[in-house]
Amino acid sequence: MMLSDADILRRLEEGDLVIDPLDDPDLQVQPASVDFRLGDEFLEFDNGNISCIDPNNERDMEEYVTKKTVPQDESYILHAGEFVLGTTKERLEVPNDLIAHVNGRSSLGRIAIVVHATAGVVDPGYKGQITLELSNLGTTPVALTPDMRIAQLTFTQLKSPAERPYGEERGSKYQEQKGPQATRIQGDREFGGEQ
């Protein structure tokens, strides 16, 4: 069952669903979703530094991105065909009986901006900011301004709470992330990690 605005507000009031800060609930809480805003940090890919991204090479993972912070009252220009990692301003805590889905806002989709490539699911138990996989599929650069509403999160109630939610007990790689985070795929079992 997907949560309505009334359900979302009730869960926020009860405190088991956390969205912080939620500065303007009247604007951000939609009929069945919550608008999340864009943070001011981005990870840009340094394509000239390496020949390819190799998940088996941890050194590559540290060297192929550069962090950029956008000063207040300025915008990040996402050029046509570019892909960067961004972050939400809001921090989210998902209770064990909910799953969240990250979706783009239709107003941004109409100017060719997408907010996730594949990472559209936020597991039960997750805590932290959301890393956004931002792409400009169009032919014209687009200015993205920190604090603008960038994504919508919807929430679905599970039939029963997750027995093994996302988190420390599972060794979850992105728990409590702050700001955009580059891939940690080298921690996957198939690349010699534990997950």
- 74 catalytically annotated: no
State both tokens at 50: 């390496």
> Measured between alpha carbons, how far is 195 from 191 in angstroms, rounded to an integer?
9
Using CB atoms within 10 A of its CB, is residue 90 exposed (0-12), middle (13-18) or buried (19+)?
A: buried
- Write out the binding residues for dCTP: 105-110, 123, 131-133, 152, 166, 173, 177
Using CB atoms within 10 A of its CB, is residue 64 exposed (0-12), middle (13-18) or buried (19+)?
A: buried
Question: Whats the size of the chain, residue-wise?
Answer: 195
Give φ, ψ of 66 to 5 degrees. -125, 135
Catalytic option among 93, 133, 163, 194? 133
> Which amino acids are annotated catalytic?
133
